Amino acid sequence: MTILYFARLREQIGASEEKLSPPPSVRTVGELMAWLAAQSEAHAHALGPGAMLKVAVNQTYAGPDAAIREDDEVAIFPPVTGG
């Protein structure tokens, strides 16, 4: 699975992209976010509970219940504001 981080997440985690293999029990976006947050202190700070984030799976916005597969591309980014 390819995880892409954008904006402040890239700086907080220290990478713009990671290739990861979550355990088989991680089958939804919500489960992935919880698993990622447990990977390191930086991940927990950037992705943990209360983080206001958007997620896209294979370039389509996805909610916490959206299914994921091991060959997916998952992009995580903060909400965008305009002005």
Sequential DSSP letters for the chain: -EEEE-THHHHHHT-SEEE----TT--BHHHHHHHHHTS-HHHHHHHSTT---EEEETTEE--TT-B--TT-EEEEEPPP---
**Is the entire prediction scored with pTM above 0.85?**
yes
Which CATH number describes the domain made up of 2-74?
Answer: 3.10.20.30
Model confidence over 30-54: pLDDT tens digits? 999 999 999 999 999 999 888 899 9
Give the largest CA-CA distance in the chain. 42
Average of per-residue pLDDT across 14-19: 97
Show me where the domains of the chain are located: 2-74
Q: Are 1 and 75 spatial neighbours (Cβ–Cβ below 8 Å)?
A: no
